[in-house]
């Protein structure tokens, strides 16, 4: 119970509840109906903290209060999810001596760049309406159906007991001293997959962009069109959407729908969908930054694909995953988003001309987001190593699907390591191979 109380406190801290609200959640064992009205008006995200406090995820429900408990001390900002306030603690995080910024990186309000629209630390949209935000909302709705416990919002005790019919898997890992979110596996049923697929295939929704998504990290001949017959097969890494992600997603939705009583197929299918969609979001951020050169509103889309169209503190989609997996990478990615907006403010013609500044901003953002992706894969490898049975199958599927996103970054730094990593990630990993893959990621992609 002491450990669960610690986790409850950490979850409240991640939600940025006030001290009084934190103690309210920690010191009571009342039913949720009594606690929610007290906390929810002050913070709509309090429910997750309440759930952990009242025992819906493993501790007893009801009964007398056990009295206030001593709150644990947190010695470093790395121990909690990034709060994005640009205060003293945030500066300590952002200026990590072990991972210093690159020379010339944009930082809001400093003299490294000319004065620009991003210096307040808030993203200023180019257009009032950003259509990509709707696709992140679709991602969140799919997540709620198929993988609600993978996003860092749900904490659970270290147990594999069933809660409300959901099968839970362990859980948390730590990299570089950062507290990691716990992973709670649920077993979606056929109706969940059907609803999720309908959301995915909404007009002008995720499906419409996945099927045409290309990844400009890879070089191809000029005028390569991934919509042309035969092109995705010829350039599968560049035409990542039609060549790799769309087939995975359609197959996984179909497998989940047809699984009936096969729980393993359903959790594996959900994990593949989660991983493929995260890969899509990663490729989309970089792509939109580059096409912003001639379509300024695409800078807004890059911001939306990363943060869901809100400030970093409240980010959804990919930004939340990275914030929970590696707070420093999230901090730096947010600065990269602001760098891109700063460039487009300074270079505001319909077609931008300062491509050197664009590339500087894009590189800053991409370096941070890649580091965040590495943390997500590395965290899941750690969880895979500690898992068995149904959980191991799901985590293996996630790693096999998303793991290749790191291959180019590793190969660029060390060709031999990249080749070895690609071989490892394509296999059913033993624990020794998991350790080797983690070591490669840590050595080659250490900092944002």
Q: Which tens digit of pLDDT belongs to each residue from 373-385?
A: 999 999 999 999 9
Lowest mean pLDDT, pick from 250-254, 307-311, 441-445: 307-311
Query: Is residue 143 domain-shared with residue 33, that is, in the same domain?
Result: no
Q: Which tens digit of pLDDT belongs to each residue from 223-268?
A: 999 999 999 999 999 999 999 999 999 999 999 999 988 999 999 9
Answer whether residue 89 is part of any domain.
no
Position 202 confidence tier, pLDDT thresholds 50, 70, 90:
very high
Say which residues have a Cβ less than 8 Å from residue 89's Cβ, sequence separation at least 6: 77, 83
Q: Whose CA is closest to 83, among 323, 372, 364, 339?
A: 323
* 145-155 mean pLDDT: 63
Query: Is residue 165 domain-shared with residue 19, that is, in the same domain?
Result: no
Answer whether residue 22 is part of any domain.
yes
144 burial via Cβ count (<10 Å: 0-12, 13-18, 19+): middle
Beta-carbon count within 10 A of 18 CB? 11
Query: Is residue 278 domain-shared with residue 325, that is, in the same domain?
Result: yes
Kindly report the average pLDDT of the chain as a whole number: 77
Q: pTM surpassing 0.85?
A: no
* 71-90 mean pLDDT: 34
The yes-or-no verdict on residue 319 having pLDDT over 80 is: yes
The yes-or-no verdict on residue 372 having pLDDT over 60 is: yes
Q: Which tens digit of pLDDT belongs to each residue from 32-55?
A: 333 333 333 333 333 333 333 322
Query: Is residue 136 domain-shared with residue 185, that is, in the same domain?
Result: yes
Predicted confidence at residue 260, as pLDDT, reads 83
The two three-digit tokens of residue 278, written as one number: 């995260």
Dihedral in degrees, nearest 10, Cα atoms 376, 377, 379, 385: 160
Query: Is residue 308 domain-shared with residue 371, that is, in the same domain?
Result: yes
* 151-155 mean pLDDT: 35
Question: Which residues pair with residue 162 across a beta bridge?
Answer: 167
CA angle 434, 182, 162 (to 5 degrees): 105
Query: Is residue 23 domain-shared with residue 137, that is, in the same domain?
Result: no
Higher pLDDT, residue 157 or 143: 143
Query: Is residue 393 domain-shared with residue 247, that is, in the same domain?
Result: yes
d(CA 435, CA 382): 8
Query: Is residue 144 domain-shared with residue 246, that is, in the same domain?
Result: yes
The yes-or-no verdict on residue 63 having pLDDT over 90 is: no
The two three-digit tokens of residue 37, written as one number: 């009205």
The two three-digit tokens of residue 415, written as one number: 């060709």
Total number of domains in the chain: 2
The yes-or-no verdict on residue 313 having pLDDT over 90 is: no
Position 321 confidence tier, pLDDT thresholds 50, 70, 90:
very high
Answer whether residue 83 is part of any domain.
no
Query: Is residue 325 domain-shared with residue 277, that is, in the same domain?
Result: yes
Predicted confidence at residue 92, as pLDDT, reads 52
Query: Is residue 47 domain-shared with residue 150, that is, in the same domain?
Result: no
> What percentage of the chain carries pLDDT values higher than 70?
70
d(CA 157, CA 148): 16
Query: Is residue 439 domain-shared with residue 329, that is, in the same domain?
Result: yes
The yes-or-no verdict on residue 342 having pLDDT over 80 is: yes
Q: Which tens digit of pLDDT belongs to each residue from 379-422?
A: 999 999 999 999 999 999 999 999 999 999 999 999 999 999 99
Answer whether residue 75 is part of any domain.
no
> What percentage of the chain carries pLDDT values higher than 90?
62
Predicted confidence at residue 98, as pLDDT, reads 81
Predicted confidence at residue 96, as pLDDT, reads 64
Position 94 confidence tier, pLDDT thresholds 50, 70, 90:
low
d(CA 3, CA 156): 11
Domain containing residue 154: 102-444
Each residue of 294-312: b (16+ CB within 10 Å) or e? eebbbbbbbbbbbbbbbeb
Query: Is residue 29 domain-shared with residue 114, that is, in the same domain?
Result: no
Q: Among 37, 65, 93, where does a domain finish? A: 65
Answer whether residue 118 is part of any domain.
yes
Answer whether residue 87 is part of any domain.
no
Q: Among 65, 88, 116, where does a domain finish? A: 65
Answer whether residue 117 is part of any domain.
yes
Q: Which tens digit of pLDDT belongs to each residue from 164-192?
A: 333 333 333 333 334 344 577 889 999 99
Q: Whose CA is closest to 218, among 371, 414, 405?
A: 405
Q: Which tens digit of pLDDT belongs to each residue from 290-305?
A: 999 999 999 999 999 9
Answer whether residue 266 is part of any domain.
yes
The yes-or-no verdict on residue 27 having pLDDT over 90 is: no
């Amino acid at each position: 119970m002491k450990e669960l109380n610690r986790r409850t406190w950490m979850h409240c801290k991640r939600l940025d509840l006030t001290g009084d609200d934190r103690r309210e959640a920690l010191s009571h064992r009342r039913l949720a109906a009594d606690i929610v009205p007290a906390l929810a008006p002050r913070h709509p995200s309090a429910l997750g903290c309440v759930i952990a406090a009242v025992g819906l995820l493993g501790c007893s429900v009801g009964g007398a209060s056990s009295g206030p408990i001593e709150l644990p001390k947190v010695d470093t900002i790395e121990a909690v999810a990034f709060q994005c306030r640009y205060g003293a603690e945030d500066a300590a995080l952002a200026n990590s001596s072990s991972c210093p910024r690159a020379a010339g990186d944009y930082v809001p309000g400093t003299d490294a760049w000319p004065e620009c629209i991003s210096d307040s630390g808030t993203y200023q949209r180019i257009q009032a309406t950003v259509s990509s935000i709707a696709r992140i909302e679709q991602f969140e709705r799919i997540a709620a159906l198929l993988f609600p416990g993978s996003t860092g919002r749900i904490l659970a005790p270290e147990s594999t007991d069933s809660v409300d019919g959901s099968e839970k898997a362990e859980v948390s890992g730590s990299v570089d001293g950062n507290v990691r979110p716990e992973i709670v596996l649920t077993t979606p049923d056929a109706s969940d997959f059907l609803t999720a697929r309908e959301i995915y295939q909404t007009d002008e929704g995720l499906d419409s962009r996945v099927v045409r998504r290309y990844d400009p990290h890879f070089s191809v001949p000029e005028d390569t069109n991934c919509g042309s017959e035969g092109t995705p097969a010829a350039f599968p890494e560049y035409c990542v959407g039609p060549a790799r992600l769309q087939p995975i997603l359609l197959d996984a939705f179909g497998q989940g729908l047809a699984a009936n009583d096969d729980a393993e197929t359903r959790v594996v299918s959900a994990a593949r969908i989660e991983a493929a969609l995260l890969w899509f979001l990663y490729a989309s951020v970089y792509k939109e930054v580059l096409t912003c050169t001639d379509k300024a509103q695409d800078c807004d889309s890059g911001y939306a694909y990363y943060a869901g169209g809100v400030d970093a503190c409240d980010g959804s989609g990919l930004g939340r995953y990275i914030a929970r997996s590696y707070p420093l990478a999230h901090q730096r990615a947010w600065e990269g988003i602001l760098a891109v907006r700063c460039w487009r403010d300074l270079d505001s013609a319909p077609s931008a001309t300062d491509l050197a500044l664009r590339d500087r901003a894009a590189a800053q953002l991409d370096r941070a987001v890649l580091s965040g992706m590495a943390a997500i894969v590395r965290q899941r490898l750690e969880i895979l190593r500690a898992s068995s049975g149904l959980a191991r199958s799901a985590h293996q599927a996630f790693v096999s699907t998303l793991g290749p996103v790191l291959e180019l970054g590793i190969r660029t730094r060390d060709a031999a390591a990249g080749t070895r990593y690609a071989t490892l990630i394509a296999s059913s990993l033993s624990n020794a191979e998991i350790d080797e893959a983690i070591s490669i990621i840590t050595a080659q992609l250490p900092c944002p």
